[in-house]
Amino acid sequence: MSELEKPVPPAGDEIHLPGNSAQPLILTVGVTILLVGVTTSHWIIAVGLLITVGTLVAWVRDAIRETNALPLHHHDDH
């Protein structure tokens, strides 16, 4: 079955949208600090890296939790 032939969900099914989150902003701050650290100090690199990796881990964990909370029929690929 091609992408164009996939069945349309029945009327009334809700579209899942993630809630508001500060994670994109925090990730941006972390990457910015990391890049500033590349030109200044190893300590600033470490702070930026810690913020960036910590935010990415939290964001992926939250996305997995949200995906697992969806009804089972949303996990089907057909």
**What's the pLDDT at 39?**
95
**What's the pLDDT at 22?**
92
**What's the pLDDT at 21?**
87
Q: How many domains does the chain have?
A: 1
Whether residue 48 lies inside any domain: the answer is yes
Q: Is the pTM of this model over 0.85?
A: no
Residue pLDDT tens, the chain, 78 long: 566 777 766 666 566 677 788 999 999 999 999 999 999 999 999 999 999 999 999 999 998 988 887 776 655 554
Whether residue 8 lies inside any domain: the answer is no
Amino acid at 56: L
Whether residue 6 lies inside any domain: the answer is no
Whether residue 53 lies inside any domain: the answer is yes
Quote the domain boundaries for residue 46: 22-67
User: Phi/psi at 41 (nearest 5 deg)?
Assistant: -150, 150
The rounded distance, in Å, linking the Cα atoms of 45 and 9 is 47
Whether residue 15 lies inside any domain: the answer is no
